[in-house]
Chain A
Amino acid sequence: MGAPDSARAISVEAGQGCFVGLFDAMASPCEILIESEDRELATRLTRTAADEAWRIEDKFSRYLPGNVVGCINSCDGKPVEVDEETASLLDFAATLHALSDGRFDITSGVLREIWSFDGGDHIPDREAVSDVLQRVGWNRVSWRRPVLALQPGMEIDLGGIGKEYAVDRVAGILSEAAACSVVVNFGGDLAVTRPPQQRRAWRVGIEAVSATGGKGETVLQVRSGALATSGDSRRFLLKDGVRYSHILDPRSGWPVEGAPRSVTVAADTCTESGMLSTLAILEGYNAETFLDGEEVKYWCRR
């Protein structure tokens, strides 16, 4: 989740057989596609969506010192009691940590102190990496719902979950609020509230290589469920001809080797899609093997 945008405004445009609500949140362009001819409804739904997205951003962005994440990160090892929603996200993060054998870790954000993925060629030395690693590891924290205690110098970052969580939350709220089909698309991570009526499916472009090999943008048709994409197509380091992906393995502190440039996964919820695509990237060379074993629909770009 990026810094809150100063211009928190929504706009609604007429699209093809739908209205398109637009706003910015979590450093991404957000789009709400509403299959309805009622502009008022579309405006109301976009407003509701933006409010929920901004609420989640404000609450969990690591760039806002006063929120719950800022509070946890600045308390220097002292236990913090968190609210229900934060506790649920922490439980989820703990499950992901276990499921991924430690590859998915919300305490790995401090590695960014030494790694900056700006396309440049600065590679940290091994000592610096092992120093920072002392402050990384979900196994080093004490989490007994609702009390979390980090070790001094550790930080958490819910950015790896937040956007997908926000998409599902917004989709859930809009599904209750309107009987029509709505697509909630936050920078390419999206969910559909219910199958559309006036068209067979919503069309979504993803930057990926299709299973049959066509390169460039692949157009997907989505009737229900969700899509999420993880990858490093723009964020990487290049040194001596080696491409270092921005996906770091928190167990070694080094970039994952052989990670695909992007992985798009289709699943019932955006959270599941996002986590499966992230876990696949963390598998590096074995990304496709992992996804094949999970028997999910995916599009992988190498």
Chain B
Amino acid sequence: MADKNPKSVSAALAAATCSLLGSVPAAPVQAAEEPTWDFNTALLYYGEDNDRVQDLSLNILARRNYVDDRSLTLGLTVDTLTGATPNGAIRQNVPQTFTRPSGSSAYTVPGGELPLDDTFKDTRAAITVGWEQPLGRLWKTSIGFSGSREYDYTHLGLNGSLSRDFNKRNTTVSAGLAVAHDIWDPVGGTPVAFAPMLDVGDTGNKTGSETKDIIDAVIGVTQVISRRLLVQLNYSFSNSSGYLTDPYKFLSLVDGATGETIPRVPPPGAEGPSHEFRFENRPDERTKQSLYGQAKYYMGGKVLDASYRYMTDDWEIDSHTVDLRLRWPLGEYSYIEPHFRFYTQSEADFYTISLVDGAELPAFASADYRLGNFDAITAGLKYGWKTRSGKEMSIRAEIYQQDGTIPGDLLIGNQVGRETYPDLDAIIVQFSYHFSR
């Protein structure tokens, strides 16, 4: 029986039973264990080098399974972010002083160093609620709500999905839709596009809160190829509109010949920026499309999980992601899983590293390193084990390396040869614990 197609025996058996009993079953089977709560908990640490972002995140996902394949999922995530993040300004050989986003004080970065804003500190709480249930024998549906709150940002979202099985359940076609409404309420107000950074206490460059709306749609097909191979293909579409700018990021205003940032002297008695900085401005709409393919291959207990994603958007960012995992059992109760991920993206069409003094302002500009051209590698190992009472635990350790390249035509004068892209190294450690009650 081992080499036949999946479910071949049960399908043939159903037909034989039908002719034995001379009738078809009145209703499909609905049987399950008494409802239980399944808990998936995880504690994750993400730490960037050089005192940049540190994130400690606790995630609890509780799922209650009901007898007729309905289930309720409740999720809670609490995040604590601390550390410093690049503010968008370029390095200078002299110290640079910046007004903090709150507008209530200033900070100075020594000469030669990458300007980081060290006020980055936030606690985020997020909840999700989901309900999943079959609709008849072949259809399945889910609806969900998500919400999160942090000091300066609120997210509210709704999602739903529908799937149908075909071909003796060897093929599943699914479609999903999610909408979200997010509200930015930045510390010290939302900067006016390209407004200059002002002295401490001067809020003439700030306005109130901003919003953005996001629609995500995905259609996909999952196909059982054989008992060993499962493949999945997804197409997704995402549209964001509204305020897509990062209110804490700005650009250096530089001399068109030397590439050095234009100095500025605060009025007597005032504290303020030592150079000219302009708040960034991004388009108010972004449309992303992506294709995702995944294959899971089972080889005598080992599972190879390989996936590839291609993403393209109308900001001209194209990205490719390759992700490989191999789950290797060590006896009956434990396994190790090496993981490797490669990511590469091209820069956004309005990505630049500085604005030129006296030149006409572009429509949009951002020096956010996340919109630049970079490659990233994630490599790590997970070890998981199961206790005799059925509790599952795992520990995962990974390193993340991000390496950027600034296109040569964006560099002016002395910027050439100065390290301007903020490369990034990070480690990720996660402990997960799964149990039922």
Interface, chain A (partner B; CB < 8 A)? 88-89, 91-92, 95-96, 99-101, 165, 168-169, 172, 175, 193-195, 200-201, 203, 210-214, 218-227, 266-269, 271-272, 275-276, 279, 283, 286, 289-290, 293-297, 299
Q: How far is the CA of A220 from the CA of B31 in the complex (A)?
A: 7
Instruction: Tell me, rounded to whole Å, the shortest Cβ–Cβ distance linking B380 to chain A.
Output: 27
Across the interface, name the chain A residue whose C-beta is closest to B227. Answer: A293
CB <8 Å contact, B16 and A95? yes
Provide 5 A-B residue pairs closer than 8 Å at the C-beta atoms, listed in order of the A residue: A95-B13, A101-B1, A169-B21, A271-B21, A293-B7
Instruction: Tell me, rounded to whole Å, the shortest Cβ–Cβ distance linking B409 to chain A.
Output: 56
* B23 at interface by CB-CB < 8 Å: yes
Instruction: Count chain B residues whose beta carbon lies closer than 8 angstroms to a beta carbon of A.
Output: 40
CB <8 Å contact, B10 and A172? no
Residues of chain B within 8 A (CB-CB) of A211 are 33
CB <8 Å contact, B34 and A223? no
Residues of chain A within 8 A (CB-CB) of B33 are 210-212, 218-221, 299
Known: A92-B17, A172-B21, A221-B31. 8 other contacts (CB 8 A): A96-B13, A214-B390, A218-B33, A218-B34, A220-B31, A222-B67, A224-B28, A266-B29
* B68 at interface by CB-CB < 8 Å: yes
* B121 at interface by CB-CB < 8 Å: no
**Which of B23, B38, B169 has the largest number of chain A CB atoms within 10 A?**
B23
* B389 at interface by CB-CB < 8 Å: yes
CB <8 Å contact, B30 and A89? no
Q: How far is the CA of A224 from the CA of B7 in the complex (A)?
A: 21
CB <8 Å contact, B7 and A295? yes
Contact flag A272-B20 (CB < 8 Å), given A194-B27, A290-B1, A293-B227: no
Contact flag A223-B68 (CB < 8 Å), given A218-B33, A293-B6: yes
* B358 at interface by CB-CB < 8 Å: no
Q: How far is the CA of A213 from the CA of B29 in the complex (A)?
A: 23
Across the interface, name the chain A residue whose C-beta is closest to B12. Answer: A99
* B14 at interface by CB-CB < 8 Å: yes
Instruction: Tell me, rounded to whole Å, the shortest Cβ–Cβ distance linking A212 to chain B.
Output: 4
CB <8 Å contact, A220 and B38? no
Residues of chain A within 8 A (CB-CB) of B7 are 293-295
CB <8 Å contact, A268 and B34? no
Residues of chain A within 8 A (CB-CB) of B270 are none
Q: How far is the CA of A101 from the CA of B7 in the complex (A)?
A: 16
CB <8 Å contact, A227 and B1? no
Instruction: Tell me, rounded to whole Å, the shortest Cβ–Cβ distance linking B371 to chain A.
Output: 45
Instruction: Tell me, rounded to whole Å, the shortest Cβ–Cβ distance linking A124 to chain B.
Output: 27
* B19 at interface by CB-CB < 8 Å: yes
Residues of chain B within 8 A (CB-CB) of A92 are 16-17, 19-20
Counting from the closest, the 8 A-B pairs by CB-CB distance are A213-B390, A225-B29, A268-B25, A224-B27, A221-B67, A223-B30, A266-B31, A95-B16
Instruction: Tell me, rounded to whole Å, the shortest Cβ–Cβ distance linking B13 to chain A.
Output: 5
CB <8 Å contact, B30 and A220? no
CB <8 Å contact, A175 and B26? yes
* B32 at interface by CB-CB < 8 Å: yes
Residues of chain A within 8 A (CB-CB) of B17 are 92, 168, 269, 271-272, 275
Contact flag A219-B390 (CB < 8 Å), given A225-B27, A286-B2: no
Contact flag A271-B20 (CB < 8 Å), given A99-B13, A294-B7: yes
Instruction: Tell me, rounded to whole Å, the shortest Cβ–Cβ distance linking A294 to chain B.
Output: 4
CB <8 Å contact, B34 and A165? no
CB <8 Å contact, B30 and A201? yes
* B9 at interface by CB-CB < 8 Å: yes
Instruction: Tell me, rounded to whole Å, the shortest Cβ–Cβ distance linking B169 to chain A.
Output: 7
CB <8 Å contact, B26 and A279? no
CB <8 Å contact, B31 and A297? yes
Residues of chain A within 8 A (CB-CB) of B68 are 201, 223
Residues of chain B within 8 A (CB-CB) of A214 are 389-390, 436
Residues of chain A within 8 A (CB-CB) of B1 are 99-101, 279, 283, 290
Across the interface, name the chain B residue whose C-beta is closest to A161. Answer: B20
Q: How far is the CA of A294 from the CA of B16 in the complex (A)?
A: 16
CB <8 Å contact, A213 and B389? yes
Residues of chain B within 8 A (CB-CB) of A201 are 30, 67-68
Which of A200, A266, A275 interacts with B13 by CB under 8 Å?
A275
Instruction: Tell me, rounded to whole Å, the shortest Cβ–Cβ distance linking A190 to chain B.
Output: 10
Per-residue CB contact flags for chain B residues 60-102 toward chain A (1 = under 8 Å, else 0) read 0000001110000000000000000000000000000000000
B window 248-299: CB within 8 A of A: none
CB <8 Å contact, B390 and A203? no
* B119 at interface by CB-CB < 8 Å: no
Which of A195, A203, A218, A279 interacts with B30 by CB under 8 Å?
A195
Residues of chain A within 8 A (CB-CB) of B21 are 165, 168-169, 172, 269, 271
Q: How far is the CA of A237 from the CA of B68 in the complex (A)?
A: 40
Residues of chain A within 8 A (CB-CB) of B388 are 213
Residues of chain A within 8 A (CB-CB) of B9 are 99-100, 276, 279, 290, 294
Residues of chain A within 8 A (CB-CB) of B414 are none
Q: How far is the CA of A46 from the CA of B19 in the complex (A)?
A: 26
Q: How far is the CA of A99 from the CA of B38 in the complex (A)?
A: 37
Instruction: Tell me, rounded to whole Å, the shortest Cβ–Cβ distance linking B391 to chain A.
Output: 8
Q: How far is the CA of A227 from the CA of B67 in the complex (A)?
A: 14
CB <8 Å contact, B436 and A212? yes
Instruction: Tell me, rounded to whole Å, the shortest Cβ–Cβ distance linking B437 to chain A.
Output: 10
Across the interface, name the chain A residue whose C-beta is closest to B300. Answer: A289
CB <8 Å contact, A165 and B20? yes
Across the interface, name the chain A residue whose C-beta is closest to B38. Answer: A212
CB <8 Å contact, B14 and A272? yes
Residues of chain A within 8 A (CB-CB) of B386 are 213
Residues of chain B within 8 A (CB-CB) of A294 are 6-7, 9-10
CB <8 Å contact, B29 and A226? yes
CB <8 Å contact, B10 and A276? yes
Which of B16, B27, B29, B30 interacts with A96 by CB under 8 Å?
B16
Across the interface, name the chain B residue whose C-beta is closest to A88. Answer: B20
CB <8 Å contact, A221 and B32? yes
Which of A91, A295, A296 interacts with B20 by CB under 8 Å?
A91
Q: How far is the CA of A268 from the CA of B16 in the complex (A)?
A: 13
Residues of chain A within 8 A (CB-CB) of B26 are 175, 193-194, 224
Residues of chain A within 8 A (CB-CB) of B389 are 213-214
CB <8 Å contact, A225 and B19? no
Which of A88, A213, A220, A283 interacts with B32 by CB under 8 Å?
A220
Instruction: Tell me, rounded to whole Å, the shortest Cβ–Cβ distance linking A90 to chain B.
Output: 10
Instruction: Tell me, rounded to whole Å, the shortest Cβ–Cβ distance linking B282 to chain A.
Output: 47
B window 1-60: CB within 8 A of A: 1-2, 6-7, 9-10, 12-14, 16-17, 19-23, 25-36, 38
